[in-house]
Amino acid sequence: MFEGMGFFGLLVLIADVWAIINVAQAKVDNVKKLLWIILILVLPLLGVIIWFFAGPRAPKSG
């Protein structure tokens, strides 16, 4: 039972790191970046879900 929880926690951690990297690369002011990063760190699962739908995006290359 707890093995699945550890795997889920690892997935949330990976998603959080990915979201923070994307926020850091976004072309928005530093205050907005800081607020998004704080939201993701304080509410790891909910923060990354909110960021996915409403967060700043890095420009697409190509």
pLDDT digits (tens, 9 = 90+) for 4-17: 788 888 999 999 99
The verdict on residue 30 lying in a domain is yes
pLDDT digits (tens, 9 = 90+) for 23-60: 999 999 999 999 999 999 999 999 999 988 998 765 66
The verdict on residue 61 lying in a domain is no
Question: Is 37 contained in some domain?
Answer: yes
- Domain of residue 42 covers 2-54
The model's pTM is 0.81
Residue 19 placed within a domain: yes
31 in any annotated domain: yes
If DSSP codes are grouped into helix, strand and coil, which group holds residue 2? helix
What is the domain count for the chain?
1
Whether 39 is in a domain gets the answer yes
The answer to whether residue 10 sits within a structural domain is yes
Residue 28 lies in a domain: yes
Residue among 18, 16, 20, 49 nearest 35 (CA) = 20
Radius of gyration of the chain (CA): 13
41: exposed, middle or buried (C-beta count within 10 Å: 0-12, 13-18, 19+)? exposed
